[in-house]
Structure 1
Amino acid sequence: MNKFPHLNPHGTPAFKDSQLSKVTELIRSWDGKETVSNFGLLGLPLSKPSISHSGACFAPTIIRKALQSYSTYAIEEDVDLNNTITDFGDVAMHVTSVAESNKRIKDALSSILSTHNSMIPIILGGDHSVTAPSVDAFSKVKGNIGIIQFDAHHDLRNLDDGGPSNGTPFRQLIEGGHLKGKHLLQIGIRNFSNSRNYFDYAKENEVTVLTMQQVNELSLKNVINDWLRNVKSEVDAIYVSVDMDVLDQAYAPGCPAIGPGGMTSETLLDAIRHLGTLEEVQAIDIVEIDPTLDFRDMTSKVAAHVILNFLLGKQKK
């Protein structure tokens, strides 16, 4: 008989329903062995390069916490998620050096992917600067990369006014030779969030730009499918990057760069679920959540649903 009854180990849910499975039951911490799941979770807690104040370095922990709130069952599709996820933990960032932090991201993801080539990484930022080293690592393993970016901003800022930051990742990738502009689809670009110079740069480099007005007027699935048909023969894999400020501020109060006129969470989740069904889509990152600004973890909970809908799409295909 237990000498100390009614005690649960730390982290054990206060209540367990024997007839309901939680998402966290699918997640396994990596034990250092060779066998991993089809999906891998990796936290990149970096926000020092943000051009505005940001606590996005805290987001990986809070998004993981948000996943604890949800079950594995999707009632609309009558599907129970059953793919396990290997959680590789977080990349340890350098205290002061952004360059060293980026190197650590690249080295860690390169090592994981080179050992587990078929695993699909689910990357938790951090600010949007983490996408540049992540795609650099991803492309070295996968080959030619196409990117579908959900964002209010182009993130094509020049590198002369402040060096690499959360506003420059896609310019870094284009100018670094890791990405061709015509292999980048930007979805949700908004009024009063960019400059003509950066829109001109996008056009000059053949980036496909879909504004929020076009998102509202067109079928997003059709746009994605048409773009993919045009680039499919030229790329080996698609990387999806979700900047949560693509959402209207009503849905994402925890983004440093919130604003009106953005996407609804329903539209974003529907698109992510569709992308999950596409075999070419082999990685996703979620960035730009500052939990210190959020209200009741609303934005992190949307991020959790981005992960769940991506997994749902992958399971349905």
Structure 2
Amino acid sequence: MTSAWPNLQDLLVPATESAPIGLVGAPLAAGSVTPGRCDLAPGELREVLRRVGRYDIDTGNLLDALVADHGDLPLEGLSIEEATAPIREAVAASVAQHRLTLLIGGNNAVTRPGVHGLGLPLERVGLLTLDAHFDMRETDNGLGNGNPVRALMEDGLPGRNIAQVGLAPFANSRAMHQDALAAGNLVISASYVREHGVERQVERALLHLAHCDAIYVDCDIDVIDRSQFPGAPGARPGGMAVGDFFAAVRLLAAEPRVRAIDLTEWDPPLDPTDLSALTAGRWLAEAIAGFEGRALA
């Protein structure tokens, strides 16, 4: 520990050590609608953690939950189909060992194997997305980062087990919207979050998933307004405020049924400043803070 500046890197420990939280890097870039370098995100996240403190001035708490770092999966050159089993198995191993697993993409295609990694029948699993997009492109031409939700529904995940929060206007199709509603997905737009409050919308999403035994949270970073996170190729002006995103992550990590949270679609070279990196680091801080809140509930 750096006593003068306790920071998040202090909490990373080898995978062989006991820790309540596990971290798995999934540097997958294959199949991206907008080709980029999302595969660089896990390494960039680890690097920025030394700049993110552990003391929360709002609560007076010093984060102390250890995070076992399982390293990055060797996914270079693999297609999404080829990467699916390694990601699923790594998440399953982490879920068996830790109370919360953090999966760092990579693009959004990591979400489908991440959900399967919970190791439960899909009828018992809830999927909550913080995402500007439905991710319900057709799968006729194979898997991609634009269709993990569609693929999971085709796998058997029912719409009543899906809550989608932060959807952006002029970034989705009518067909996807209609399909989501017809399936029974809960659909909450970014503007609705802004007008009615993020805490209430997270409550609605968790209520929609009240019957689920375990919940997987997908944090597609493009849900954030592009001016506040320029390092996401799919982010748009008018997206979710970054403060609302942080609040949502903390609230969701505090839910005991949440067994895994991913962070996807961060493409570090798109942002020559450190804004996106620091935001991603803060995401980890909020996830840890929320997790530690479980003990206080």
CA 94–60 in structure 1, closer or farther in 2 if over 3 Å, else same? closer
Q: 2:31 aligns with which of 45, 49, 52?
A: 49
Q: 2:185 aligns with which of 197, 201, 207?
A: 207
Q: 1:180 aligns with which of 145, 158, 169?
A: 158
Does 1:197 find its partner at 2:182?
no
Does the Cα contact within 8 Å between 1:41 and 1:121 map onto a contact in 2?
yes
The C-alpha deviation readout for 1:166-186, integer Å capped at 9, x for no partner, is 000011111101x22111111
Q: 1:268 aligns with which of 221, 242, 245?
A: 245
Q: Structure 2: which amino acid aligns with 1:61? A: G
CA 81–142 in structure 1, closer or farther in 2 if over 3 Å, else same? farther
**Whole-angstrom CA distance in 1 between matches of 2:89 and 2:253:** 26
Give the TM-score normalised by the residue count of structure 2.
Answer: 0.93
Does 1:292 find its partner at 2:269?
yes
Q: 1:129 aligns with which of 95, 106, 109?
A: 109
**Whole-angstrom CA distance in 2 between matches of 1:193 and 1:22:** 37
Give the TM-score normalised by the residue count of structure 1.
Answer: 0.88
Does the Cα contact within 8 Å between 2:7 and 2:53 map onto a contact in 1?
yes
Q: 1:226 aligns with which of 204, 226, 236?
A: 204
| Structure 2: stretches of 5+ with no match in the other structure | none
Q: Structure 2: which amino acid aligns with 1:272? A: V
SS at match of 1:155: coil
| Structure 1: stretches of 5+ with no match in the other structure | 1-15
Q: 1:158 aligns with which of 119, 122, 138?
A: 138
**Whole-angstrom CA distance in 2 between matches of 1:88 and 1:101:** 17
Structure label with greater radius of gyration = 1
Q: Provide the alpha-carbon RMSD of the alignment.
A: 1.8
Q: 2:14 aligns with which of 1, 9, 29?
A: 29
> In the TM superposition, what is the alpha-carbon distance from 1:19 to its structure 2 partner?
3.2
> In the TM superposition, what is the alpha-carbon distance from 1:143 to its structure 2 partner?
7.4
Q: 1:168 aligns with which of 147, 172, 176?
A: 147
Count of paired positions? 294
SS at match of 1:102: helix
